[in-house]
Structures are given as C-alpha cells and as structure tokens.
C-alpha cells in the first residue's frame, strides 16, 4: 500500500471515528489533528486510537514519548501506522 493510499484510508477512519462533517478526501494531510487545526479533543483522539487498534492491530499508548509528533497530522499518524501495523 502506498503512502498516499494509507493516508486516504486513515483519513476515512478519522472522519468516521469522530463524525467529522467533511469528506475524507478533503482532509489536508498536514493539518494538526489536536486542538487548533482539525479541532479534535482528547476524547476524539481516544476514538481515533481505538479505531486504529481495531483496524491495524496495535495500541497507541500514552507513554509513547513521540505522541506529540504521532498525533501532529494525518501524515505523521499514517507513517506511524505504517511502521507498527500488524495487519
């Protein structure tokens, strides 16, 4: 799966997980997910984390020192998933 394809898939997952009003393909891969930007809050990120673990078979954890970076954008999250997915 190419980077672009995975980003599209993760965009779809985010839109569904937090009921975003915009279509998945309109999501800017560089926009900030948490707070300013896409405007997700902590409970939204939990929803995203749950969806990621269901679909890709690994856990996003609070003690990961890279969390700021992982959740910084759709692109960063997708790259993290590509690295850690088990399915």
Partner 1 sequence: MSEAWHVAEERGSPAAIGLLAWLTVKLGRRATRWLLHPICWYFLATSARARRASKAFLARVLGRQPGTRDVMRHLHTFATTIHDRVLLIRGDCSPFEIAAHGVGELETILEGGRGCILLGSHLGSFEVLRALARLNGKYAINPVIHEPAAAKTSRVFARLSPESQDRLIRPGQLDTMLKVKECLERGEPVGILGDRPLGSAKALAREFLGAPALFPIAPFLLAAALGVPVVMFFGLYLGAARYEVHFEKLTDGVFVPREHRMETAGRWLDRYVERLEHYVRRAPYNWFNFYDFWAAHRI
Q: Is 15 in the site for partner 1 (CB under 8 A)?
A: no
Q: Is 37 in the site for partner 1 (CB under 8 A)?
A: no
Q: Which is closer to partner 1, CB of 5 or CB of 41?
A: 41
Burial environment of residue 14 by CB neighbours within 10 A (0 to 12, 13 to 18, 19 or more):
buried
Q: Is 14 in the site for partner 1 (CB under 8 A)?
A: no
Determine the angle formed by the axes of helices 42-56 and 74-84, rounding to 10 degrees: 30
Backbone angles phi, psi at 41, to 5 degrees: -105, -175
Interacting residue ranges for partner 1, rule: CB under 8 A: 19, 34, 41-43, 45-47, 49-50, 60-62, 67-68, 71
């Amino acid at each position: 799966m190419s980077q672009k394809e995975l980003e599209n898939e993760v965009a779809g997952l985010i839109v569904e997980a937090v009921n975003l009003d915009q279509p998945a393909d309109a999501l800017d891969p560089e926009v900030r997910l948490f707070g300013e930007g896409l405007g997700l809050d902590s409970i939204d990120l939990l929803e995203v984390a749950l969806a990621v673990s269901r679909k890709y078979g690994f856990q996003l954890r609070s003690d990961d020192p890279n969390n700021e970076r992982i959740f910084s954008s759709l692109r960063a999250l997708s790259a993290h998933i590509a690295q850690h997915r088990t399915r």
